[in-house]
Each structure stands twice: as structure tokens, then as C-alpha cells.
Amino acid sequence: MAAKWIESLTGSFEEKKQYKEAQARLDALPEPYGGVAKAVQRYLMYSSGIVDGESMVRMNADLADLWERAVADDVPVRDIVGSDPVDFAETFGQSYSGKQWIDKERARLLKAVEEAEQGQ
């Protein structure tokens, strides 16, 4: 019973476990892959705007998969991120359409306009 209450406040314990597993995989990558993978992950945390745990966990696991495959195939880092690493990270992040913090503000803006129309 207490676990359900705690999870309602903090999020799913299973998602936290999966996130930590993906993080451990990223941490285990050899350099230079590990450094770039962590830089991409950090950028995604700030830029993606994803707030739901399921999408975040999936994105991190997929990121670990990508970099582990690059290591196994000995693919140069630049071949993964291309000439524009920011574009790579943003395109990667757009593939995960979870709930984002901006969704609430979009709904609030739409509601304000609708209420204004009704008042005219």
C-alpha cells in the first residue's frame, strides 16, 4: 500500500530501475563514445521537454542501444552524430512523443483564446 502511494509521488519504481540500467550502460561505454553519448543524453534532458517517465526511459535505453552498436561495429563518433550534433540530438529526441511540459502551456493558451472568443 505504501509503495503505491510513494510511486504516485515519485514515479514508477520499475521505470527508475530501467533508467538506472540504461544509465549504467552509457557509463560503461569506452571513450570517446561514452563522453559523446553522455553529452547527447544531457542535451536531450534539457531540450526534449519530455516529462513522462516511460518516454524518458525508452529514449535512454534506445540511446544506449545506439552507442553500444556503434562501439561493436567500430563506427566513428562523427558518423553517428553527423556534421551537426545538435541537429542529431534534436531529431533523436523528436522521435519520443511523450508528454512534454509545454503541452500544459499550449492547452492553457488555447483555452484563453477560446474563452476570449466566447466573451466577445
- Residue 47, pLDDT score: 82
Q: Domain tally for the chain?
A: 1
Report the Cα–Cα distance between both ends of the chain, in Å, rounded.
50
Q: Is the pLDDT of residue 58 over 80?
A: yes
pLDDT digits (tens, 9 = 90+) for 62-73: 999 999 999 999
DSSP symbols for the chain: -HHHHHHHHH--HHHHHHHHHHHHHHHTSPTTHHHHHHHHHHHHHHHS-B--HHHHHHHHHHHHHHHHHHHHHT--HHHHH-S-HHHHHHHHHHT----BHHHHHHHHHHHHHHHHHHH-
> What CATH number did the domain enclosing 91 receive?
1.10.1900.10
Mean per-residue pLDDT over the chain, rounded: 87
pLDDT bracket for residue 6 (50, 70, 90): low
pLDDT digits (tens, 9 = 90+) for 12-47: 788 889 989 999 999 999 999 999 999 999 999 888
Q: Which residue has the higher pLDDT, 79 or 104?
A: 79
Report the alpha-carbon distance of residue 57 to residue 91 in Å, rounded: 17
Structural domain including 111 reads 2-119
Q: Which residue has the higher pLDDT, 79 or 15?
A: 79
pLDDT digits (tens, 9 = 90+) for 80-103: 999 999 999 989 988 886 666 677
C-alpha cell at 47: 531540450
